[in-house]
A and B are shown apart, each in its own frame.
Chain A
Amino acid sequence: MTLQRTPLYEKHVAAGAKMVDFGGFEMPLKYSTETAEHLAVRNAVGVFDVSHMGEVFVEGADALLVMQRLVTNDAAKIVDGQAMYAGLLNERGGFVDDVVVYRFHATKFLVCVNAGNQHKDFAWMRGAVAAMALERPGLDCVVRNEGALWSQLAVQGPKAIDVVAQLCGEHVRGIGGYCFAAGRVGGDAQGIIARTGYTGEDGFELYVHNEHATALWDAVVAADAVPCGLACRDTLRLEAGMCLYGNDIDDDTTPLQANLGWIVKLDGRPPFIGHAALVAEKAAGPARLLRGLEMVERGIARHGYDVVDNNGVKVGVVTSGTQAPFVNKAIAFALLDRAHSAPGGTVAVSIRGKPVKATVVKLPFHKRSK
């Protein structure tokens, strides 16, 4: 399969970015160094090309009813102009994907999906809607994959608000966390200004049609946002305790296991796909839980390394890990057997055959000061 490119590909190459394959797209890994880019986002403002993300619109008189079937979080409890993090689950309660749902009206939603999952998700959503239409003849809902039409820039960091206000107008200061507005996004482009992100900092995700992407990128960079690549996006989200699909969560991991009970609303709403599995898992208690690890002895835990107890018996597996630039520690996420998941406990990560001690901690590792 040939790799896809975003409209900003030429910009990245011209800026000297090292390019890598991510989710079927040729994306910038870094422009300068991953540490410098990471710290730019924590201390000032950075900009990421996240045009590889997928955009699926769900529209029609029955769109809200459909969203309630598709996602774990409660689309009836957010208001127009509000967004929410949610899961799409299989019948076993495992993640098909983790997504952000934007509610324009009860009749129009945008679901932002992971790049590598967008075709799978779209097929899954269409299948779920077709099944609903059999139960409810005349169901009024259309699911459209507009991933190929939209570009997305994530402007992230404590100074992101100033950059976005300069480009889009002072009114953006009034957009609350996890809220959004449709409107002018720099120049004459119309788009979506969302106060969302994947870094643990304040920031915005700006959605525009592809033809406006390069002008918007230039304007954001001219406003002193540092171009940032996927390498620091990964270390930023790790410090912030956010999951990466394919690493920390997949179709065998449920939200209850992944520390994401807060995006699951089981009661007072129509059941979503996977609802019954989660009700049963909640009653029994999840067999394993996602936790943070802080390395006590020297070593870096990586995806797939075993976690063992004092006797060398396997009690879990590392799902992500790195040396974290801002908190300046070797950190990891691990799925641990429930008996070994209590924060404060000591486990060991098996690194190249040697047990290296780590402490179990609650996520996140970094919380921004308000």
Chain B
Amino acid sequence: MSNVPADLKYTEEHEWVRTEGDVVVVGITDHAQGSLGDVVFLDLPEVGRQLTRGKAFGVVESVKAVSDLYAPVDGEVVAVNSELVNAPEQVNKEPYGAAWMLKVKPKSAADVAGLLDAAGYAALLAKIAK
């Protein structure tokens, strides 16, 4: 069973969101990295890019698969983890730590509140496993 930290919010597309002051940190979940397999490539947006909730903001590729990354909220990209682009294997090793991808300034706090909580995401994973 994959790790679902209690203090994070989640999307149905397997991104996680951590609130830090007035920005949110975004990455992909342990379940997502496990399904992808060894991650070998990342395409992340530039700082300043406007994201639209539910729209693709980047791409993650494993040895076998290409997968879009989806914006959890509307907002502006204020930081990008450029080190991760050069060490994409961190996504497999530390999906909730070193492998954060973006910091985003959300347009509305309500967007963040509306995401799945850990229990909701764990229930989603249980449903997928069936």
Whether the pair B38, A34 counts as a contact (CB closer than 8 A) is yes
How far is B64's CA from A299's CA once the two chains are assembled, in angstroms? 14
The B51-71 residues at the A interface (CB cut-off 8 A) are 59, 61, 63-64, 66
Whether the pair A34, B37 counts as a contact (CB closer than 8 A) is yes
- Number of contacting residues on A, CB 8 A? 17
- Distance (whole angstroms) from the CB of B56 to the closest CB of chain A: 10
Interface string of A230-249 (1 = CB under 8 A from B): 01001100000000000000
The B99-130 residues at the A interface (CB cut-off 8 A) are none
Q: Which residue in A33, A35, A235, A323 is a CB contact (below 8 Å) of B41?
A: A323
The B34-57 residues at the A interface (CB cut-off 8 A) are 37-38, 40-41, 43
How far is B93's CA from A33's CA once the two chains are assembled, in angstroms? 12
Q: Which residue in B41, B59, B64, B66 is a CB contact (below 8 Å) of A231?
A: B64
Whether the pair B38, A300 counts as a contact (CB closer than 8 A) is no
How far is B63's CA from A323's CA once the two chains are assembled, in angstroms? 6
Q: Which residue in A35, A298, A299 is a CB contact (below 8 Å) of B63?
A: A35
Chain B residues, CB < 8 A from A352: 43, 59
Whether the pair B37, A300 counts as a contact (CB closer than 8 A) is no
Whether the pair A299, B41 counts as a contact (CB closer than 8 A) is yes
Whether the pair A300, B64 counts as a contact (CB closer than 8 A) is no
State the main secondary structure of chain A at its contact with B.
mixed
Chain A residues, CB < 8 A from B37: 30, 33-34, 231
Chain B residues, CB < 8 A from A299: 41
Q: Is A322 an interface residue (CB 8 A)?
A: yes
Chain B residues, CB < 8 A from A235: 63
| Best-surrounded residue of B37, B38, B40, B63 (most CB of chain A within 10 A) | B63
The A310-329 residues at the B interface (CB cut-off 8 A) are 322-323, 325
Q: Is A52 an interface residue (CB 8 A)?
A: no
How far is B38's CA from A325's CA once the two chains are assembled, in angstroms? 10
Chain B residues, CB < 8 A from A302: 66
- Distance (whole angstroms) from the CB of B94 to the closest CB of chain A: 15
The A286-322 residues at the B interface (CB cut-off 8 A) are 298-300, 302, 322
Q: Which residue in A33, A234, A298 is a CB contact (below 8 Å) of B38?
A: A33
The A1-59 residues at the B interface (CB cut-off 8 A) are 29-30, 33-35
Whether the pair B40, A323 counts as a contact (CB closer than 8 A) is yes
- Distance (whole angstroms) from the CB of A354 to the closest CB of chain B: 10
How far is B41's CA from A235's CA once the two chains are assembled, in angstroms? 16
Whether the pair B41, A34 counts as a contact (CB closer than 8 A) is no
How far is B61's CA from A330's CA once the two chains are assembled, in angstroms? 12
How far is B67's CA from A300's CA once the two chains are assembled, in angstroms? 12
Chain A residues, CB < 8 A from B66: 300, 302
Interface string of A326-346 (1 = CB under 8 A from B): 000010000000000000000
How far is B64's CA from A300's CA once the two chains are assembled, in angstroms? 11
Q: Which residue in A30, A231, A300 is a CB contact (below 8 Å) of B40?
A: A300
Whether the pair A322, B63 counts as a contact (CB closer than 8 A) is yes
Query: Known pairs A302-B66, A322-B64. 5 more at Cβ < 8 A?
Result: A29-B64, A33-B37, A34-B37, A235-B63, A298-B41
16 A-B pairs with C-beta separation under 8 A? A29-B64, A30-B37, A33-B38, A34-B37, A34-B38, A35-B63, A231-B64, A299-B41, A300-B40, A300-B41, A302-B66, A323-B41, A323-B63, A325-B63, A352-B43, A352-B59
